[in-house]
Amino acid sequence: MSVTIAAGGPAATADEKLMSLLRNELLAAREMAKSLSSLLTSGVGAEPPAASVEISEQKKQAERVQQEFLSYFSRIAPSLYTREEWLGIFSKIGGIVDKLGGLAHRIEFLLTKPWESPLPLRDLLAKMTTLLLSIMDSYLAMMNSALTNRDRALEARGKISSSEKEMDTLYREAIFSTLESKLAAPIMFLLLNIAEMIEDTADLLNSAADDLYLITIYSTSA
């Protein structure tokens, strides 16, 4: 059972505190994904857009939340029945932040080279990024209900699963379109890698949704 804490205001459970920290980290990751979308629509050979600077700052914000989470978790972990699930979510959101940071470097590198990728391919990657933002929104909705409303959490979990399947379809389309494009090997490899990392990020969210639903089951079983 979670302990109750007081933090300069009304009492809150340890689960609520952990959820708040992870939500803040995911919100920072979502801002990173929005900035990635801006990068994808930048022109090849253009000056590095402000989005790349924003992503760096957003990643630092996420890392600050990670440290706060670990500091708090280390103090209250013995009181938690679902500590493995909380750690699972923490690890996967951390992985998402790392993936998005890696994507930013790859996309920015792509934009600094005189390689013009076909517009349909760039549109596909932009569509994948938009879908990733939608999955993040569904996960945030699941977070908002996970400790109090099992039905709403399950509904959000279903949306995540459905969107992840849609991401798989877009990923396959991006692979085949890239391989059929007859691009130079370096840009083809980079585009495939970008598409794979976006899809991997969606997979991490889908897996983290399993951990969160287990917490929901425990928290709403009373």
In this prediction, residue 48 carries a pLDDT of 52
How many angstroms separate the CA atoms of 205 and 198, rounded?
Answer: 11
Kindly write down the DSSP assignment for every residue of the chain, as one continuous string. -PPEE-SSSS-EEHHHHHHHHHHHHHHHHHHHHHHHHHHHTSPTTPPPPHHHHHHHHHHHHHHHHHHHHHHHHHHHGGG-SSHHHHHHHHHHHHHHHHHHHHHHHHHHHHHHSS----HHHHHHHHHHHHHHHHHHHHHHHHHHHTTT-HHHHHHHHHHHHHHHHHHHHHHHHHHHHHHTTT--HHHHHHHHHHHHHHHHHHHHHHHHHHHHHHHHHHHT--
pLDDT, tens only, 52-97: 788 889 999 999 999 999 999 999 998 888 999 999 999 999 999 9
Res 109: pLDDT: 84
pLDDT of residue 175: 95
Residue 7 is assigned to a structural domain of this protein: no
- Alpha-carbon distance 147 to 158, whole Å? 17
77: in domain: yes
pLDDT of residue 3: 42
Q: Is residue 151 part of a domain?
A: yes
pLDDT at 155: 97
Q: How many residues does the chain have?
A: 222
Number of folded domains in the chain? 1
Do the domain assignments include residue 6?
no
Give the per-residue pLDDT at 49: 56
Encoding tokens for residue 36? 């990635």
Is residue 54 one of the residues assigned to a domain?
A: yes
Range of the domain at 137: 12-219
Residue 189 in domain: yes
Q: Which pLDDT value is given to residue 222?
A: 57
* The pLDDT of residue 170: 97
Q: What is the pLDDT of residue 8?
A: 36
- Indicate the angle between helix axes 50-76 and 83-112, nearest 10 degrees: 170
Tens of pLDDT along 182-194? 888 888 999 999 9
1 occurs within a structural domain: no
Residue 135 sits in a domain whose CATH number is 1.20.58.220
pTM: 0.89
User: If the chain, 222 residues long, is cut into consecutive pieces of 10 residues, what is the mean pLDDT of each piece?
Assistant: 39 84 97 89 57 86 96 92 95 97 89 74 91 98 96 97 97 94 88 96 98 93 70
Question: 72: how many CB neighbours lie within 10 A of its CB?
Answer: 16
